[in-house]
Amino acid sequence: MVLDFEIGPSFLVEDRLIYVISERLLINAGKENIFFGVLISPIYVVIIEHDLRYAFSLLTGERVDLEDLFLRIPSLKEKLLLT
């Protein structure tokens, strides 16, 4: 099994730029590069408005520390720095 994260394309709602982050679980069939299935679940939403940047868990509804997300998903920090 392979677990990784995908940062979806951003979309604009009023003055907020929103990213949805999904968790991907790839289930292999026991051979190299042959996948039996995939499970994709949106798990976080990152919101950028004016000078604020914050995130919420779609699983619990609670606010998530962006620094914790950056540790789990290094490409997120790079993407947000370009925004």
User: What average pLDDT does range 26-30 have in this prediction?
Assistant: 76
Residues 68 and 44: beta-carbon distance below 8 Å: no
- 5, pLDDT greater than 80: yes
d(C-alpha 10, C-alpha 76), whole Å: 12
Q: Is 73 helix (H, G, I), strand (E, B) or coil?
A: coil
Name which of 40, 44, 61 is nearest 53 in CA terms: 44
Query: How confident is the model at residue 78, as a pLDDT?
Result: 85
pTM, entire model: 0.80
* Confidence bin at 83 (pLDDT 50/70/90): low
d(C-alpha 26, C-alpha 46), whole Å: 24
- 82, pLDDT greater than 70: no
How do the residues of the chain divide into helix, strand and coil, expressed in percent and rounded to 5? 20, 55, 30
- 74, pLDDT greater than 80: yes
- 43, pLDDT greater than 90: yes
